[in-house]
Amino acid sequence: MAKVLDDISRTFNEYLLLPNLTDERCIPENVSLRTPLVKFEKGESPKYEANVPMVSAIMQAVSGEEMGIALAREGGVCFIYESQSIESQAEMVRRVKQKKAGFIRSDSNVKSGTPLREVVELVKRTGHSTVMITKDGTATGKFLGLVTDKDYRISRVDLDDPVDKYMVPKKKIICGKSGITLTEANDMIWEHKISCLPILADNGNLEYLVFRKDYENDKNNPLSLLDDNKRYIVGAGINTRDYKERIPALVDAGVDLICMDSSDGFSIWQKNTIDWVRQNYGDSVKIGAGNVVDKDGFNYLADAGADFIKVGVGGGSICITRETKGIGRGQASALMDVVKARDEYFKKNGVYIPICSDGGIVHDYHIILALAMGADFVMMGRYFARFDESPSRKVKRNGSFLKEYWGEGSNRARNWQRYDLGGDKDKLSFEEGVDSYIPYAGPLKDNLTITVNKIKSTMCNCGSITIKEFHKKARLTLVSNISIKEGSAHDVILKEIENN
């Protein structure tokens, strides 16, 4: 008969933190949420760290180009979804990497002689009011000039005229030289009272643009997660089928981290994928693996060479794996079991492998509990799907704004590779996810700031100012159904808030 574990499969809802002594260090301003993203040896530092312990799920409804930029700007990492063509995923990664902090690769370009009509259509399509004119019409061609929507009046011009008639030529434009720092570029913008500064290579080719409006963005985002070249850090999902073609394309696009997207990571297919990465890229490509729910799964992937390991099967809000297959584990139980294995592995081998808790998070305090239980960071889908920056549509239903949200195992996504068990099939046999709506929440920045403040405040209550210290000091207690009810507003009549 089957082996039955003695412990009960528990969720985050069944635990609460106990307060510890709050000393003079413990104020939110002193709390650092910096956390490792990839493995490292004892006494060394990881190649990649996040400034907030949150990454976005590898999902069509969550992680696109806009999320990649917005989340990196706030100190987290977006993993661009893999249930799309290799070319389109690589292009998404490339666009995020081109969005250098303050230095932007021009997205709107035309060549000399282009009819003004095409420029107007380009402005309408992209929303960019400034268009670069280069010799070959590319973002890195010989720079000839630029045109803005203030340089022509649609009602007063002939749209068949060449753009050259209305553009500001290079000789009249203040330009920066390749290698200029962002501080120097911003100084030039303010000194010359201009809104856009083209950065040119020595041969006159266009490299980047620096905009006045981005100056405030940089000042307002001190936690931005950047690589050595001041570009945003971004991840991407892969599967265990086309990885030999997908990974090279992602690496060429500049991806920083990759992660296998699978509902069950305890498989030979994941080991084979990691083996291929090590044979072809050594340790230069950082690859996450999972998902697993126990010690055996963790040790298998750790020995295979995973750079971080995801925990969780069936806990996502749109996931019905447990319902359809009867497999999985309560997220809290799975996480604590894997964290224990992680700590034993570190003690034995001197290699620390970060743990990512994936799924089971409904409330902000669940993030805090996951960190207390030993997770280094959490991966979330529903949380990020609510925001403006997610790729899904915002719709209005019964007077309320909602965002569409669907699982990768749903018929809508049809990401059969995520549930692949080998063989020759190339389709989704049955659904393991649903198609749904979730309440629209507005911009990522506003919401993430509130969540981060909650995490920092709770850590202070627990006498901790770093995640590492929180791992050591956090104390948890199981709660009953009655105590859960007691923890919410009760025995009062809540006032209804009128929306004016």
Sign of the Cα pseudo-torsion (348, 349, 350, 353, in order): negative
Count of CB atoms situated within 10 Å of the CB of 202: 8
Nearest partner of 290 among 347, 351, 358, judged by Cα? 358
Active site residue 356: no
The tokens describing 244, both together, are 């030999």
The tokens describing 75, both together, are 């100190």
The tokens describing 494, both together, are 């809540």
Residues 6+ apart with CB under 8 A from 322: 313, 314, 328
Q: Number of C-alpha atoms within 13 angstroms, CB side, residue 386?
A: 15
Of these residues, 73, 95, 231, 418, which one is catalytic? Answer: 418
The tokens describing 431, both together, are 């659904």
Give dist(CA 47, CA 352) in Å, integer: 12
Active site residue 418: yes
Of these residues, 259, 319, 356, 462, which one is catalytic? Answer: 319
Catalytic residue IDs: 319, 418
